[in-house]
Amino acid sequence: MASSSTAKQLDSSVVESTTPKTSRLSLKEKLAYGAGDLGNGFMFDLGQVYLLKFYTDVLGISAYYAGLVFLVSKLFDAFVDSGVGTFVDSRSNIGKRGKFRPFILFGTLPLAIITFISFLSPDLSQNGKIIWAFVTYMLFNAAYSVVNIPYGSLAASMTKNPVDRAGLASFRSLGSQAALFITGIVVLPIVMQFESPKVGYPVAIGVMALVGIVFHLMCYFGVKENEVVVKKHEAKVPIRKAFGALLKNRPFIVLVTLTLFMILANFLKLSVQLFYVQYNLGNSNLIGSISTVNLVMALAGIAITTPIVAKLGKKAAVIIGLTGSITFELLNFFIFGDSVGTFLTFHAIGYFFFMIPNTIIWALIADIVEYGEWMTGERNEGVIYSSYSFVRKVSQALAGFLPGLILTMIGYVPNAVQTSGALAGIKMMEFIIPAVCSLIALLVFGLFYSLTDKRHKEIVSEIAARKA
């Protein structure tokens, strides 16, 4: 990388850093990057895990409208993601803070504030409460995009080393799982310290959001951008052309299909888990045990991911993980899911397998940045990541809407004894639907994904040769 003094001597038409970083990333840098997703989780997970139940049981809107809030807001946010990605890539006046890091620094406080506001339950009419839910959740998702799109794009700018990228993906997953664990065991106990959940929820969420700010700042101050390319005073590639190139990017299409169904599988489980432990297993406090199990299995899954990738490659690791996850979902549904002990055991093993592909996804999207650069000659991290995030938001929208719709269809009644039909429907959402989604993801990825680690290495070498 050129020094700042050398860069000043270059022609002003082009200022770029295109030489791959030769030194490996330090453990400190990887931990700092993982802290970013820990900060994300202290805000994002709150909405994904608790808002559906908050809307139905505290704010007091129907499950159908609660699901509709998720559907519409996530679809809206998918377009916000594209706008944020376009803006990030269109910036030419890059300061000393870098291309992506400033969004983490300046976006974290607004995100924390709107996270807190989303869990307020004002005394409004039924229509007023529905409008309140729509407006606050749409604002929450928009604020999250401003932080998360640059954060996700950041990995590709830190290193091109495939092992380091797998490491960044592992630390990102570790941060995400740690946040899911902490919020899973802390939020409800804090809420129950207060007589009314209308007070308890805002207090608990406010505390979590403040902690999220701290971890975002740890990420901002602990990482560096080493592969950023900035061009000035040149004719820019039209954004429409950049997005259009993605439609010809076969690995990208396969990856977003994999992601669509994996997120449906995971977030459907998260959305219905509170209902399953309360009504099917009769133990609302079990959510803390599930969070603990998830963290332990996530650590194990993340730890095994890098060795599997090093030995077998990313594609084989994804196939192994999805196959194991599907197997144990089905075992829990047909045999073991009705007993707390066996449910937790087989849930744990299934979650261990699911964490392998869930971790690798973040390394795959970084690989696809180079594939797109190899295809088009342009490096567009923001466009690629925001387009990828668009699909994630669409799948999150469906995963947020479907539980509310299905709960309405099966006759769920908040805070009441459920019918046998409702219990059967909840169990189906917890196991069978996620297993089917994972099976579709497995088939599409196994049959059509062609960007192997060997091919990616060849592509990186070709790009370097062009620049030389």
Residue 393 lies in a domain: yes
DSSP reduced 3-state for 452: coil
Q: How far is CA 256 from CA 43, 247, 373, 441, in A?
A: 24, 11, 18, 10
- For residue 3, pLDDT over 60 is answered with no
- For residue 117, pLDDT over 90 is answered with yes
Position 20, amino acid: P
CA 201/CA 194 separation, integer angstroms: 9
pLDDT classification of 242: cutoffs 50, 70, 90: low
User: Crossing angle for the helix pair 432-448 and 314-331, nearest 10 degrees?
Assistant: 160
Q: How far is CA 455 from the centre of its chain?
A: 26
Range with the lowest mean pLDDT among 69-83, 209-223, 316-330?
A: 69-83
Task: Taking residues 251-273, report their average pLDDT.
Answer: 88
Please name which of 315, 311, 349, 313 lies closest in space to residue 330, comparing C-alpha atoms: 349
Position 18, amino acid: T
Supply the pLDDT for residue 444: 95
Better pLDDT: 157 or 232: 157
pLDDT classification of 332: cutoffs 50, 70, 90: very high
Cβ contacts of residue 425 below 8 Å, gap of 6+?
406, 407, 409, 410, 412
Supply the pLDDT for residue 18: 40
Residue 3 lies in a domain: no
Supply the pLDDT for residue 23: 62
| Residues 157-179: b if buried by 16+ CB within 10 A, e if exposed | bbbbbbebbbbbbbbbbbbbbbb
Residue 9 lies in a domain: no
- For residue 21, pLDDT over 50 is answered with no
Residue 232 lies in a domain: no
DSSP reduced 3-state for 230: strand
Which range of 11-20, 52-61, 219-228, 323-332 scores highest in mean pLDDT? It is 323-332
Supply the pLDDT for residue 53: 82
Strand ranges, E, within 177-236? 229-231
- For residue 437, pLDDT over 90 is answered with yes
- For residue 431, pLDDT over 90 is answered with yes
Supply the pLDDT for residue 227: 61
Burial class (CB in 10 A: 0-12, 13-18, 19+), 27: exposed
CA 324/CA 284 separation, integer angstroms: 27
Supply the pLDDT for residue 245: 63
Residue 19 lies in a domain: no
Please name which of 217, 218, 215, 141 lies closest in space to residue 178, comparing C-alpha atoms: 215
Which range of 74-83, 242-251, 342-351, 361-370 scores highest in mean pLDDT? It is 342-351
- Tell me which residue range forms the domain holding 207: 24-224+239-467
Task: Taking residues 28-48, report their average pLDDT.
Answer: 88
Supply the pLDDT for residue 10: 32
- For residue 229, pLDDT over 50 is answered with no
Position 241, amino acid: K
Residue 6 lies in a domain: no
What does the chain come to in residues? 468
Better pLDDT: 400 or 268: 268
Supply the pLDDT for residue 139: 94
The Cβ of residue 207 has, within 10 Å, a number of other Cβ atoms equal to 15
- For residue 107, pLDDT over 90 is answered with yes
Better pLDDT: 324 or 290: 324
pLDDT classification of 241: cutoffs 50, 70, 90: low
Residue 42 lies in a domain: yes
Please name which of 49, 5, 67 lies closest in space to residue 408, comparing C-alpha atoms: 67
Q: How far is CA 358 from the centre of its chain?
A: 9
50-53: which pairs have CB atoms within 8 A and are 24 or more residues apart?
50/119, 50/187, 50/201, 50/205, 50/274, 51/118, 51/119, 51/137, 52/271, 52/400, 52/403, 52/404, 53/274, 53/275
What is the domain-level CATH number for residue 312? 1.20.1250.20
- For residue 402, pLDDT over 80 is answered with yes
Q: Where do we find the tokens 């709150």?
A: 46
Please name which of 168, 215, 176, 187 lies closest in space to residue 299, comparing C-alpha atoms: 176
- Calculate the average pLDDT of the chain: 84
pLDDT classification of 347: cutoffs 50, 70, 90: very high
Cα–Cα–Cα angle for 259, 439, 326, nearest 5°?
105
Q: How far is CA 289 from CA 4, 284, 293, 426, 459, in A?
A: 52, 10, 6, 19, 45
- For residue 237, pLDDT over 50 is answered with no
- C-beta separation of 37 from 145 below 8 A: no
Q: Is the pTM of this model over 0.75?
A: no
Range with the lowest mean pLDDT among 145-149, 315-319, 456-460?
A: 456-460
Helix-strand-coil split of the chain, %, nearest 5 = 80, 0, 20
For the chain, how many structural domains are there in total?
1
Burial class (CB in 10 A: 0-12, 13-18, 19+), 78: buried
pLDDT digits (tens, 9 = 90+) for 156-197: 788 877 778 778 888 888 888 888 888 888 898 899 999 899
Residue 234 lies in a domain: no
Task: Taking residues 419-443, report their average pLDDT.
Answer: 93
